[in-house]
């Protein structure tokens, strides 16, 4: 079965450093998402992306965050200057069309020290 | 506004006994409701979904859930637990018109960790 793949699985970074989390959505999917889960808290929506632009973003997704689809396969989340509170599991997800199942990746653990 | 409450953070059952994971939701619109499961070191996998068709929804691995509008509930059940069911389960809600579309703002519950004893 096709999968959403994410790299790295775990990254440790120093506060203030830039981080890029990478995702390869399922190949025929058109809608892409990032979610995050801080340890012990709910999974939270960050951003959705369709047709090469952001469709919706949450209050969490401030100017420190950006997303990009640099080529036909990758979908990246960049955190420009990481803060301790950015430590979380980040999930990428994709779906082919509205009403279809949203498929999630295995997540990328980000630890900011 | 939409929200979802999972009433138990941890449920422990013995293998072969029934499973009940409780979920209540709040939604201003006709909701779509889902259960996702996350096994250790794995991604979120869709178990089942309700999108305004039959109120009793069957999912993978023998799980099912019943949408009860009068009780605003969408509890997950399984008649007989298996060791492989040990995982974290998330109840998720979104307005039907938004699901999977350009917005895709899934709202997750806090999760229920299911333990299965031999």
Average pLDDT of the segment spanning A75-87 = 97
Greater confidence (A40 vs A61) lies with A61
Q: What residues of A are in contact with residue B99 (Cβ under 8 Å)?
A: 98-99, 102
The reported pLDDT for the residue numbered A113 is 97
DSSP per-residue string spanning B14-41? ETTS-EEE-EEEE-SSPEEEEEEEE-TT
pLDDT over 70 at B100, yes or no:
no
Pick A98's closest partner by Cβ from B36, B101, B105.
Answer: B101
Pick B104's closest partner by Cβ from A4, A41, A102.
Answer: A102
Q: What residues of A are in contact with residue B48 (Cβ under 8 Å)?
A: none
Residue of B nearest to A51 (CA): B102
pLDDT over 70 at A25, yes or no:
yes
Average pLDDT of the segment spanning A45-73 = 91
- Which of B52, B102, B109 is most worth mutating to test chain A (most A CB atoms within 10 A of its CB)? B102
Q: What residues of B are in contact with residue A45 (Cβ under 8 Å)?
A: 104-107
Residue of B nearest to A90 (CA): B43
**CA–CA separation, A31 vs A52, rounded Å?**
10
Q: Quick one: which of A27, A98, A82 has its CA closest to A90?
A: A82
> What three-state secondary structure class fits B63?
coil
pLDDT band for position B101 (50/70/90)? very low
Average pLDDT of the segment spanning A78-96 = 95
- pLDDT tens digits for range B60-99: 999 999 999 899 999 999 999 999 999 999 999 876 555 5
Structure tokens at B30: 């006709």
Pick A91's closest partner by Cβ from B44, B102, B111.
Answer: B44
Pick A98's closest partner by Cβ from B43, B90, B99.
Answer: B99
Q: What residues of A are in contact with residue B101 (Cβ under 8 Å)?
A: 31, 98-99
Q: What residues of A are in contact with residue B105 (Cβ under 8 Å)?
A: 45, 48, 56, 58
**CA–CA separation, B100 vs A101, rounded Å?**
7
The reported pLDDT for the residue numbered B98 is 53
Q: Dihedral of CA A82/A33/A106/A38: which sign?
A: positive
> What three-state secondary structure class fits B70?
coil
pLDDT over 70 at A52, yes or no:
yes
Contact A101 B100 (CB under 8 A): yes
Query: To which residue do tokens 């965050």 refer?
Result: A65
Q: Dihedral of CA A49/A50/A53/A56: which sign?
A: negative
Q: Quick one: which of A66, A42, A64, A46 has its CA closest to A56?
A: A46
Contact B104 A31 (CB under 8 A): yes
């Amino acid at each position: 079965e096709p999968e959403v793949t994410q790299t790295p699985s775990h990254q440790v970074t120093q506060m203030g450093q830039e981080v890029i989390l990478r995702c390869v959505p399922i190949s025929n999917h058109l809608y892409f998402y990032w979610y995050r889960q801080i340890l012990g808290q709910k999974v939270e929506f960050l951003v959705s992306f369709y047709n090469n632009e952001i469709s919706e973003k949450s209050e969490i997704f401030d100017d420190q965050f950006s997303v990009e689809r640099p080529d036909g396969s990758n979908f990246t989340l960049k955190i420009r200057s990481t803060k301790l509170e950015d430590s979380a599991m980040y999930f990428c997800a994709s779906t082919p069309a509205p009403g279809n199942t949203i498929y999630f990746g295995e997540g990328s653990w980000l630890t900011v020290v | 506004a939409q929200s979802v409450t999972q009433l138990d953070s941890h449920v422990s059952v013995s293998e072969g006994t029934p499973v009940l994971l409780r979920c209540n939701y709040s939604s201003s619109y006709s909701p779509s409701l889902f259960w996702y499961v996350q096994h250790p070191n794995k991604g979120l996998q869709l178990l089942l979904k309700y999108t305004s068709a039959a109120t009793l929804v069957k999912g993978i691995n023998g799980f099912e859930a019943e949408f009860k509008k009068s009780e605003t509930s969408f509890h997950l059940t399984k008649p007989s637990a298996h060791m492989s069911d040990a995982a974290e389960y998330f109840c998720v809600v979104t307005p039907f018109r938004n699901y999977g579309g350009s917005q895709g703002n899934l709202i997750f519950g806090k999760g229920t960790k299911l333990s299965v004893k031999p």
